[in-house]
Amino acid sequence: MEQKMQLLKKIWPYLASMGGASVMILAFFIPSIQDQWDRYQARKVIEQYENLGNEFFEEEKYEIAEEAYAKAFELSEQKRLDIEMKRLSAKVNRIGSDPAWGNKPPEGLADVDFQFLLHFQKGKGSEKHQVATLNCYGAFLASVGRLDEAEDVLTKAIHLDQSDVLAYINLGNLYGQQNKNDKSEKFYQKAISIDPENSRAHYNLGLLFFELGKTAEAKKEFGKAAELDPEDEDAKAEYEALQN
């Protein structure tokens, strides 16, 4: 209101020279113009926070991305459900960014987050997003000991997209967690058949072979993983340890 009064004072000398009807018309529209300007400025700020979230998401900095989306959603007066979907996606992807299977889920992450996001992602054309969420959901369920549910969720991901490598790797992890080694190897091999250059699939298969006492096979897989991802210090260390 104070801004509107200041604006009115600035142009009042011009209004005084006009007729009474014109003054009344302009006085009526000034608040509307100010409101439109305020909304325009608010939209710009929301867009800036949303773009920040997009950048952090692409960089797999999911925690910071979640915070940026949360701020954008708050500034939209909780009306931008598209931004809320992005916030939830960043939140659930925090568990997918940790390659160590079965680790404790990030603080604040709950079953309801996955349920809400999957509900938002319903509909034809959103299968890719659903699969990504289901992969994270499967990792979450496995981390809290709900193994049967994790299997169902990851199997659903494969039904939606039979070429999704991560779903096969996650199922390999899940079966390995239950000492179902034959199934675990089968799914790692399937992942590699789809994407022979997936370093995570080779590394996880190497871990399985090592646990089974298949040293030569493990060494081969660790070496391949290190070759595909030179920054993977774990694969490099495992390979070098088997050189001796």
* Number of domains, the chain: 1
Q: Name the pTM for this structure.
A: 0.80
Name the pLDDT band for 125 (thresholds 50, 70, 90).
Answer: confident
Name the pLDDT band for 36 (thresholds 50, 70, 90).
Answer: low
140 inside domain = no
Q: Which domain holds residue 59?
A: 1-97
- Model confidence over 42-96: pLDDT tens digits? 788 889 989 999 999 999 899 999 999 999 999 888 888 899 999 999 999 999 7
From the list 119, 120, 115, 121, the residue with the least C-alpha distance to 137 is 115
64 inside domain = yes
23 inside domain = yes
Q: Check pLDDT > 60 for residue 5.
A: no
169 inside domain = no
| Residue 186 DSSP symbol | H
If one compares 19 and 59, the residue with the highest pLDDT of the two is: 59
43 inside domain = yes
Q: Check pLDDT > 70 for residue 109.
A: yes
DSSP track, 103-164 = PPPPTT--HHHHHHHHHHT-STT-HHHHHHHHHHHHHHHHHTT-HHHHHHHHHHHHHH-TT-
172 inside domain = no
18 inside domain = yes
* Per-residue model confidence (pLDDT) at position 79: 85
Q: Check pLDDT > 90 for residue 101.
A: no
239 inside domain = no
Largest CA distance in the chain: 97
